[in-house]
Structure 1
Amino acid sequence: MAIEDYSGGLSPDAEVIVVTTNDVPGYRVTEVIGEVFGLTVRSRHVGSQIGAGFKSMMGGELKGLTKTLVETRNQAMERLIEAARARGANAVLMMRFDVTDAAQVGTEVCAYGTAAVVAKDGA
């Protein structure tokens, strides 16, 4: 499998800048809108759980589950961006992920951060 299957993030031409920092180098924050989040819950597939169980006995990476988690995080991030854009933001600062079990049947992934409006320095 290719590295794209195991990585996430935004394309360089994304409309909303998402960073894990308090600010964006080369930009100034002109307005703080507030907290935004994107949430998704994925159920566990019985077949993948059985396969993961066998793999865990032998050791090694659970590639199918890794790929599923990457897809889930990317979906949560897409929803975060949609929420920020809907509130008039062009940036999300201090973005984080939170992952928890959801009622023993799935995994909840929440991407959250602070929606803001930023402008290039000197503009």
Structure 2
Amino acid sequence: MAENFIVTTTENIPGKEYEVIGEVFGLTTQSKNVVRNIGAGLKNIVGGEIKDYTKMLEEARDTAVDRLKENAKSMGADAVVMMRFDSGSISTDMQSVAAYGTAVKFK
């Protein structure tokens, strides 16, 4: 993947004119192992950040964005604008993350 591929949450990219190609998505579902889930359950009792789940969400977000970029590149896009995230729990130990936006081609 090209390192200069632009993914932005804004509608416009300063200094660039583009045409819209279409919507793009990157999806992933992740889970942690049973031992870490037990640790997270204990942390739930005493309170505080559950670092293993934070790490899981960071990994899921990064994977979703990488897949979004791959999807956009396969459509011939040069960038993605209006990128957003959506996430949700599938069960107590699984998290789904979607990155979505609009693929564009520079003029």
**Aligned with 1:24 (options 3, 13, 20):** 13
How does the TM-score come out when normalised to structure 1?
A: 0.78
CA contact (8 A) 2:25 2:100 kept: yes
Distance 1:37 1:19, change over 3 A: same
Contact 2:31 2:56 in 1 (8 A): no
Alignment of 1:6-45 (within 5 A): 14-29=3-18, 31-45=19-33
Report the equivalent of 1:47.
35
The answer as to whether partners of 1:94 and 1:114 remain within 8 angstroms in 2 is: yes
How many aligned positions are there?
A: 105
Structure 2, unaligned runs of 5 or more: none
Q: Secondary structure at the match of 1:60?
A: coil
Runs of 4+ in 1 over 6 A off after TM superposition: none
Identify which of 89, 92, 97 aligns with 1:109: 97
Secondary structure of the 1:27 match is coil
1:40 aligned partner, one-letter code: T
Q: TM-score, normalised by structure 2?
A: 0.89
> After the TM superposition, which of the residue ranges 71-80 and 13-22 deviates more from structure 2?
13-22
Matched-pair identity in %: 50
2:97 aligns to what SS in structure 1? strand
CA RMSD of aligned residues (A): 1.5
